[in-house]
Structure 1
Amino acid sequence: MVSRGRRTVPLLAVLLLGGLTAPGLAQDRPAAQPAPKAASPAKPAAPDPAFEATKAAFEVLPEAERKAIQDALVWTGDFNAVVSGAFGRRTFDALTAYRTWAGGADPLDPRGRAALLAAGAAAKTAARFRITTDPATGAVIGVPERLLAKRTTLQSGTRWQSADGRVTLETRAFPPGVETLDHLFDEATAARLNRKVTYKLRRPDSLVVTAETGPGLSYIRYDAGPEGVRGFLIGYDRALAAEVGRLVIAMANAFEPFPAAVAKPAADVPPVAAAAPPVPIPAGSGTGLVIAPGRVLTASAVLEGCAALRIGQAPARVLATDPSGLALLESAGMPAPAQLAVRVDPLAADEGLIALAPGPDGVLAAPANPVPDGVIAPLQPGAAGAPVLDRLGRLVGLVARYPMAPRRVAGIVPPARLALVPARAVAAFLAGQGVAEAKPRPEGGPGALAPALVGIACR
């Protein structure tokens, strides 16, 4: 099942509904208008005000941002169609579903969009979803490496498998003249004992077949081109459908059987990032998290050498500091406080974390890997005080300080080791300041804290 807030829909159903542009995935469509009644055929159907307002707000965004929103909604479990940037009923329903379980936050306004993108990035990071060129086939494939940790080279492709063997992904490639789509389609749809084909699609240059086999589900896709036939197959235990469902949708969206010959940037680095000039950041600037009305938590390193702090346009004053490396500030006009919960149990060595920090275009979410007393993360200047969270949105710690002269590559600071003020110290500090730990929303995740993030500047 694919989670949609508190509702679920069958995975194979969402893969098959609607017109198909990417094989096996539904294409988003404009809202269907009801047919006029026979008695008044000239009367146009009444528009849906909510749909039209959401469409206008969505379509005013650049295409890259529209696609990023749809991709994030795939990872939150709300969108189950092609990530194309086009607006239709599926995008509208997904935005509505996300808004409902996110407590009314508008995913199209700047702060709500930052929270949504952070939630999607956190889910993608937690899955270790890596888009890469499969050297065995030449196809571009998205692989959730946390789940599919075992990798084996096959004669005609690559196999990824979960540790327990309940999920298997395989890529396959056949040179021109070796295999045909007709033969592969006949083989995939042939009658077999205890196997039921639930959907089949045959086009001149592609095919998709889904099936049920006892307790298992499967998805098969092949594409034909001048370089032969390439495709992938995934099979998994039906009991894992809630977890694997969104991964199948993400893999189908990411799959490119015959990618262009031009070099592509790494999947987790925006194409413009390496070429963009560094954004000037005032000396002493940092990141803060609103944890009570008018109260902002940050790292005390942000205060060093700073005589006048500002948050946005408002001045800020220091209420308290702590030897552990924390500071509590007071400022007016702050956003609503975060529902902050801290994590006190140990981290696994390979656990995926997410760091949040303000950037020139809103809140940025960066993947982080735990190391003793800190994390390795691609954070940029201004990240001192940035919260580091686990996949449930619990605070693991705050970035204690940021290097004064970080190493840059094409204007961007690559991943670096950063010390953390641990969550236990944060909890003790806040308790001493009379700020009680809150219970986060069950499905909030790391993105729930994004609206409470602020940038701190030193004049």
Structure 2
Amino acid sequence: MPRPARLLAAGLLPLLACGGLAPAAIAQMPGPSAPGSGAPAAKGPAPRPAAPATPDPAFEAARAAFEARPEAERRAVQDALVWAGSYNSVVTGAFGRRTYEAISAWQVKEGGKPGGAAATGILDDPARAALLAAGEAARRAARFTAAPDPATGLVIGVPERLLSRRSRIAGGTRWQSTDGRVTLDTKAYAPGETDLDALFAQSAATTPERKVTYSLKRPDFTVVTGETPSGKFYIRHAAGPAGVRGFTLSYDKASSREMDRLVIAVANSFVPFPGEAPMPPPPRPAATVPDPIAPAAGPATVTGLVAGPRRIVAVLPGSCPAPRVAGEPARVLRRDESSGLALLDGATPPGPSPVLAPAPATPGEATIVLAAGVDGPTVTTGEVAAAGLIAPLQPGAVGAPVLDRSGRLLGLVARLPAQPRLVAGVLPPLTHPLVGLAALKAFLGPEASTAPAGGTPPLTVGTIAGRFAGAVVGVRCGG
């Protein structure tokens, strides 16, 4: 079915059975991403976006010291921190809050030993050598080896001490622990055999026995993590000129203490297409759904929801001079200071917009979030909680519409944390406040359209995303 090239919607993947646990599939990305959800209308004013944090001199000093080292050494330090159990993010060589805190945590742990350094976040030469030696010792103890998988062509690291059983499976390789409680499967699909949309939809499917805690769909990779009553799973797939390649790692919760660290190491070792350039974006087809207006260069400050021709409702920061949509100035028609809502007059794409749900969502209800991004709308799934929206949302998702599984609007994301933390290179699900139905109805007035009461059949994530992709636009502040 044709779809806009910029639409990052969900698709379907046959899940791999993993070592006696519930089916699981896992994806790790070369950077973060997300499930979304909605929540009941909140009482009182919605929280305003947080002010920028004051620069931290200790952090900046640690950054300068870290970035003065060669890239290979920076990566080696981060990898050693993973094996030391202090770092749970992507090994990139770039310095951030997670690296700073990981180094500090390792220094605290080593501080009780003779010659231990203070927790400054800065490694001197002896401390760096000690950290690298500790990481290498832990890697060797796990017999962790990153090597090409002949069955798929991808490169992946395998803790062979734990996963000692190896066998061929259809399209890939399986490594398994002797008790069958930990399983790593690789899989390769030839060009045209399947695509990321198809793999993502089934990877992100939820059941009463299977909860997805994080999901992300980007043009060239997908990530899904989750839990079953007895286990955890982590899924990663990547697309390239040679097709789609990925891996699934699942393990019993009883082994979480060791496996949560090994998952990060395996994910960081994953190279889907060694020596190949990444796959270019697919050509734009003749779309059967409205193509969203491309956002201006750079990430959107917030997400705006089209409420009608040249009408966009957004949650703007306290100071948003000269808002722009699709690179053009947008005029503020009215604002509500208590909720942060603003109605803009700006360029809007054609196509339908979601109508308000007849009633607030109930805790535990599954939801979908559509947010504006550099490459077009991103789609995440999640669930409602009493305190708001549980979802791992990316920057730019402020103001993103939260929809129920019938495509009806439950609210808008009110704000995001100023400094979100990554776990294994992805944003974990967090609770985000919402601008709820009551505030939206009061603000939009006669421009608000509400769905009739009564049950409506649920739709697939891909159907909802395709229907309303053109209803979200990036809104930038200050040009």
- Report the TM-score, using the length of structure 1 for normalisation: 0.48
Larger Rg: 1
TM-score by length of 2: 0.46
Report 1 or 2 for greater relative contact order, CA contacts < 8 Å, sequence distance ≥ 6. 2
